[in-house]
């Protein structure tokens, strides 16, 4: 199978240098990360070609461990190059996209060894959401500040205790190593790289031209349940909140949480509500619904299996809750999210092919998420 990468247009001016960007992807990669980063560097390259002549431009390659076709979370097939020899490449920047495949990738000794070898031969390395675990496994984040999705932070701390995890940060930078917390934030990291290279004015002009960035400005922040990070007055409520996150897939009760922090159930409910603004039931339900939404977007698992993985009785239970709180069924939500991603404009030479059935679907208006009002 032919290996493909795409390189963005460059000036014929021989004085113009090119920064080579490598986006590393694995099975189940979130397509928004690939498109988002590619759009930033693509628009940035065209802008500096026409307006800021003589400045450095960009070329992009999509990489995977062995090269070839990688299937995204939305069934879009991405053609990739294999990782090059660590001592014979031209990459200035590496960016590890988010996706479910990263949990297998960070246990791959070949990949981890390559990252350890290449770390001194690239200027900067970044990762998004689950991609942070790949950087962590390679030791790139030891004794450095980092972040990841709020629901994965405790796992990151347990498995890699040398990392200085910043729970409230959307993104971090420490000595050339960058992390971002939420799925789809490759766009934000790419803009950060662009700003570092070419200044705030160029990055701002690129951001203003991208729909994905406009959307993030309108809806900032990761999908973290409101006020989790503000549960700071009481260490017991902090502990209970994290206990809910770690055990939300299990058949737990509010009494179990109260017992965990050595409080009576009544006092626990009152204090939790007072400090977070949510009842424990609301908080737990929101966690579970967010987990279902993420699974619907990133996997092809049936709704019934997702429901049980996220602490619900069955798919029917989840369907009722979705219709009540999101005004849409889980299957409709999945179709809408995937169609919205595939409708984003893809660079013609990106090496990506779209399933025609997905591309032809026209989503309904995206439902608004409402605060859950209980487990029943």
**Looking at residues 289-293, what average pLDDT do you find?**
86
What is the pLDDT, as a whole number, of residue 9?
A: 33
Confirm if 337 and 297 have CB atoms less than 8 A apart: yes
What is the pLDDT, as a whole number, of residue 131?
A: 94
276 lies in the same domain as 337: yes
What is the pLDDT, as a whole number, of residue 55?
A: 56
pLDDT in tens, 207-219: 877 754 444 444 4
Inform me whether the pLDDT recorded for 244 exceeds 70: yes
103-107, 138-142, 227-231, 252-256: the lowest-pLDDT one: 227-231
Average pLDDT of the chain is 78
266 lies in the same domain as 147: no
Measure the CA–CA gap between 223 and 157, rounded to whole angstroms. Answer: 20
Highest mean pLDDT among 77-86, 130-139, 179-188, 266-275: 130-139
The domain boundary, picked from 163, 196, 218, lies at: 218
Inform me whether the pLDDT recorded for 1 exceeds 50: no
- Residue 221's pLDDT band, with cuts at 50, 70 and 90, is very low
The domain boundary, picked from 218, 240, 265, lies at: 218
| Within a domain: 76 | yes
| Within a domain: 330 | yes
Residue ranges making up the domain that contains 240: 228-359
Measure the CA–CA gap between 311 and 332, rounded to whole angstroms. Answer: 21
Of 366 and 218, which is predicted with more confidence?
218
What is the pLDDT, as a whole number, of residue 213?
A: 45
Domains: count for the chain: 2
Inform me whether the pLDDT recorded for 36 exceeds 80: yes
**Looking at residues 265-282, what average pLDDT do you find?**
87
What is the pLDDT, as a whole number, of residue 249?
A: 84
Confirm if 82 and 67 have CB atoms less than 8 A apart: yes
Inform me whether the pLDDT recorded for 356 exceeds 50: no
**Looking at residues 229-250, what average pLDDT do you find?**
73
- Token couple for 88: 């014979």
111 lies in the same domain as 248: no
Q: For position 253, which CATH number holds?
A: 1.10.10.60
Highest mean pLDDT among 3-7, 73-77, 305-309, 363-367: 305-309
**Looking at residues 87-110, what average pLDDT do you find?**
90
Highest mean pLDDT among 119-128, 179-188, 300-309: 119-128
- Cβ-based neighbour number of residue 373 at 10 Å: 12
Measure the CA–CA gap between 19 and 40, rounded to whole angstroms. Answer: 14
180 lies in the same domain as 264: no
Per cent of the chain over pLDDT 90 is 30
| Within a domain: 276 | yes
What is the pLDDT, as a whole number, of residue 50?
A: 62
| Within a domain: 374 | no
Inform me whether the pLDDT recorded for 56 exceeds 70: no
pTM, to two decimals: 0.59
pLDDT in tens, 311-343: 898 889 999 888 877 778 888 888 877 766 555
Angle at 132 between CA 193 and CA 225, to 5 degrees: 100
297 lies in the same domain as 326: yes
| Within a domain: 62 | yes
232 lies in the same domain as 214: no
122 lies in the same domain as 255: no
Per cent of the chain over pLDDT 70 is 76
254 lies in the same domain as 353: yes
82 lies in the same domain as 22: yes
| Within a domain: 335 | yes
The domain boundary, picked from 218, 238, 254, lies at: 218
DSSP β-bridge partners for residue 71: 77
Inform me whether the pLDDT recorded for 66 exceeds 70: yes
52 lies in the same domain as 148: yes
What is the pLDDT, as a whole number, of residue 350?
A: 44
* Residue showing tokens 């400045």: 55
Confirm if 243 and 268 have CB atoms less than 8 A apart: no
Measure the CA–CA gap between 252 and 288, rounded to whole angstroms. Answer: 12
| Within a domain: 367 | no
What is the pLDDT, as a whole number, of residue 86?
A: 78
337 lies in the same domain as 189: no
Inform me whether the pLDDT recorded for 359 exceeds 90: no
| Within a domain: 205 | yes
Q: For position 158, which CATH number holds?
A: 3.40.50.880
337 lies in the same domain as 198: no
DSSP β-bridge partners for residue 60: 6, 21
């Amino acid at each position: 199978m032919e290996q493909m990468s795409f390189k963005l247009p460059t000036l014929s001016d021989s004085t113009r240098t090119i920064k080579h960007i490598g986006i590393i992807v694995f099975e189940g990669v979130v397509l928004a990360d690939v498109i988002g980063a590619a759009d930033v560097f693509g628009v940035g390259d065209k802008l500096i070609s026409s307006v800021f002549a003589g400045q450095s431009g960009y070329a992009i390659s999509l990489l995977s461990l062995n090269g070839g076709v990688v299937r995204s979370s939305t069934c879009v097939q991405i053609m990739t190059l294999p990782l090059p020899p660590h001592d014979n490449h031209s990459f200035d920047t590496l960016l590890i996209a988010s996706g479910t495949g990263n949990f297998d990738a960070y246990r791959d000794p070949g990949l981890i060894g390559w990252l350890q070898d290449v770390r001194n031969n690239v200027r900067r390395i970044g990762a998004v959401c689950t991609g942070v675990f790949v950087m962590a496994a390679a030791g790139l984040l030891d004794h450095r500040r980092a972040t990841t999705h709020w629901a994965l932070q405790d796992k990151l701390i347990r498995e890699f205790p040398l990392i200085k995890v910043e729970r409230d940060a959307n993104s971090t930078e420490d000595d050339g190593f960058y992390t971002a917390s939420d799925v789809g934030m490759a766009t934000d990291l790419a803009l950060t790289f662009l700003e570092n290279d070419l200044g705030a004015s160029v990055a701002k002009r690129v951001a203003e031209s991208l729909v994905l960035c406009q959307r993030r400005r309108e809806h900032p922040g990761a999908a973290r349940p409101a006020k989790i990070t503000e549960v700071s007055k009481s260490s017991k409520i902090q502990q209970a909140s994290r206990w809910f996150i770690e055990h939300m897939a299990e058949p737990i009760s509010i009494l179990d949480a109260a017992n965990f922090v050595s409080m009576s159930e009544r006092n626990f409910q009152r204090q939790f509500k007072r400090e977070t603004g949510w009842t424990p039931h609301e908080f737990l339900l929101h966690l579970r619904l967010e987990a279902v939404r993420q699974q619907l977007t990133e996997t092809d698992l049936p709704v019934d299996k997702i429901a049980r993985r996220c602490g619900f009785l069955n798919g029917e239970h989840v369907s009722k809750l979705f219709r009540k709180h999101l005004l849409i069924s889980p299957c409709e939500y999945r179709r809408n999210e995937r169609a919205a991603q595939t409708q984003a404009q893809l660079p013609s030479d990106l090496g990506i092919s779209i399933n025609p059935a997905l591309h032809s679907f026209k989503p309904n208006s995206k439902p608004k998420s409402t605060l859950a009002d209980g487990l029943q």
